[in-house]
Structure 1
Amino acid sequence: MVRHVAGRTVVVTDSTACLPPERAAAAGITVVPLQVVIGTESYTEGTPKARAALMDALRRRQPATTSRPSPEQFAAYFRELAEDGATGIVSVHLSAELSATHESAQLAAASSPIPVEVVDSRSVGMGLGYAALAAARAVRHGETLSGCAAAAAKRATMTSAFFYVDTLEYLRRGGRIGSAQALLGSALAVKPLLHLVDGRVEPLEKVRTAARAIARLEQVALERAGHDAVDVAVHHLGSIPRAELLAERLRAQLPSLANATEDDFGALGDLTVSEVGAVLGAHAGPGLLGVIVSPRLP
């Protein structure tokens, strides 16, 4: 729980934002964890035990499910922040199309002792993380509660998420596959590229190999960056070499903000490489590689 909040708006998000604890703490963001359930055991996302249990389950092909924070859990966080002196809360969460976490926060907001604005990022990973960071930046700039929520919603709307999975089976099991269901009948050699559209997982295109998938992710990320100043996150699950390769390719193509010109693809602000948490990992499966492109707000 983030402290020293007296007299100001505070930002709450959930653990699927993939924000490192130190970065969330530095921004004054409180992170509410989801749970991953394997067999009869429940593990808190963000802990080493959760990751180890998930990776073991994936190796054994053992089913893993996930659980949202309950409305009561959110209510407890909101009460504690109010007791610490917060005057309002912006609660930013992963897509309501993919999880009932947003609904839990809304239900808790109704009984909160202080005003709560709940924002559906319609994204996951750092697509959500950047939205929460935008709200925290607005707090630092003295924006109103509604202004902070609007900043989160605007950044989320501007952000794009593209990803590759070795198989659609894990998304199918979790019911998160959307119209990408149609790709299940493809030949086994075909690898799906997916993206988020209005918070839903949708097919982007098909490629033949993982190497081509990395190259195509690089291309679509550059196209999405355009000539904007962007922050980029590369996510993976158990695929550090592929993630680092993609990050290096993007770093080579996108000049830093200090060195960018009008002729460049775009200007690179922050580039983050991180492994997704156990909850996203349970739904995407091993081999996940994703890229989040988020234009910066003025």
Structure 2
Amino acid sequence: MVDRPGERCQQSLVRWRSAVEAELLRRRAAVPGRKPNLRRKKGRIAIVTDSSCSLPVDRRTQEVLLGQVGANIVSIPIPVMIGEQIYPETSAELDRDLPLALAQGTAVRTSRPSPGRLLESYQQLQDQGYAGVVSIHLSAKLSGTVEAARLAAGQLDFPVTVVDSAQAGLALGHSVIDAAMAAQLGGTLQAVAEVAADTARASESLFVLPQLDQLRRGGRINAMASLIGGLLWVKPLLQLVDGEIHPVERPRTMARALERLQARVAEQAHAMESPRLAVHGFGNDLQALELAVALEPLSAAPVPVVDLPPALGAHLGLGAVAVSLSPARAS
């Protein structure tokens, strides 16, 4: 019996999660005498991020499901609005309603987490005995989440360093993972923040959209990108550059756009030492799986196929395909 695409996506995610946990053990072994012991009383650093990072979470508790690696990570949901209704981002209702709303052209918006919500998380981590927080978020040019984090940090007599990743998806997620590992291996607040920034800066995010209507409605693209998307036969290849969405190429069909996406990813992977690749899709599991299989030989780790989180899917729309590349850290 042939597995369904959704099941195969889940299998790819399981393999990737296992590799992430194994990587923590490898890094731990490379530092003699150092163990990722989160029970120590002094010097612990926590990581706060937002749900655009695409890391797997428990829908009920919001716990990041990465075993020991996720033990010091907190992911804050980004609110999604369909019409006038606000949804918790991780909910079965949103999974059901968002694709339908996008298909019907219903207004879909996102909002930054409130400073109060972030402040609450920072206070909880302080109460748990952490010595500080590195708060790593979606590009400030795409969302007000970084601003909200800085406002919250300014209200608290507790060390919080906010990092604008200038990224999204698992390019942000890998930055969060690397920071969490650095913290668990005894890194200082400054060192952990530098790890997060280094990974984000060295990462790449490319994506192809069947159409640009959602990005245009949300104001996430500039006038030039909006113009090229207005041509019905163009399926643009886009990339995050310094945290902003920029057009890279203008293929005329989705098939050609995916070919060019794969070629661009190959070029960037060959130029990156030990690249970690991830594929995102939204309502197109089979298409995303086929791309992941094609890209697997380029990646230093298993390639997960991850649904775009609603906060990103709401702007990229149905049928979006994205690839994240991040270099693996040596230690």
TM-score by length of 1: 0.91
| CA distance in structure 1 between the aligned counterparts of 2:211 and 2:41, rounded to whole angstroms | 47
Quote the residue 1:92 is aligned against: 136
> Which string of whole-angstrom CA distances, capped at 9 and with x for unpartnered residues, describes residues 38-97 of structure 1?
122111112222221211211222110111111111101101110111110000000000
**2:46 maps to amino acid:** V
Cα contact 2:280–2:307 (8 A) shared by 1: yes
> Which string of whole-angstrom CA distances, capped at 9 and with x for unpartnered residues, describes residues 196-255 of structure 1?
00000000101122111222111111111115201111001101011000000011x32x
| Structure 2 segments unaligned to the other structure (5+ residues) | 1-37, 58-64
Cα contact 2:139–2:146 (8 A) shared by 1: yes
Cα contact 1:51–1:277 (8 A) shared by 2: no
| CA distance in structure 1 between the aligned counterparts of 2:156 and 2:180, rounded to whole angstroms | 20
> Which string of whole-angstrom CA distances, capped at 9 and with x for unpartnered residues, describes residues 4-52 of structure 1?
6853000010001110121277422100011100122111112222221
| Structure 1 segments unaligned to the other structure (5+ residues) | 255-266
Percent same amino acid at aligned positions?
Answer: 39
Quote the residue 1:14 is aligned against: 50
From 161, 183, 201, the equivalent of 1:139 is 183
**Are residue 295 (structure 1) and residue 327 (structure 2) matched?**
yes
| Cα distance, 1:73–1:250 mapped onto 2, change above 3 Å | same
Q: Which runs of 4+ in 1 moved over 4 A?
A: 3-6
Quote the residue 1:190 is aligned against: 234
Cα contact 1:214–1:242 (8 A) shared by 2: no
Q: Equivalences for 1:116-195 in 2 at 5 Å? A: 116-178=160-222, 179-186=224-231, 188-195=232-239
| CA distance in structure 2 between the aligned counterparts of 1:93 and 1:116, rounded to whole angstroms | 13
Q: Equivalences for 1:222-233 in 2 at 5 Å? A: 222-226=266-270, 228-233=273-278
| CA distance in structure 1 between the aligned counterparts of 2:240 and 2:304, rounded to whole angstroms | 19
TM-score by length of 2: 0.82
**Are residue 244 (structure 1) and residue 289 (structure 2) matched?**
yes
Q: Equivalences for 1:56-135 in 2 at 5 Å? A: 56-135=100-179
Quote the residue 1:284 is aligned against: 316
| CA distance in structure 2 between the aligned counterparts of 1:152 and 1:281, rounded to whole angstroms | 24
Cα contact 1:165–1:284 (8 A) shared by 2: yes
Cα contact 1:193–1:206 (8 A) shared by 2: yes
| CA distance in structure 1 between the aligned counterparts of 2:154 and 2:101, rounded to whole angstroms | 38
Cα contact 1:5–1:81 (8 A) shared by 2: no
**Are residue 211 (structure 1) and residue 243 (structure 2) matched?**
no
| CA distance in structure 1 between the aligned counterparts of 2:176 and 2:280, rounded to whole angstroms | 17
**Are residue 27 (structure 1) and residue 59 (structure 2) matched?**
no
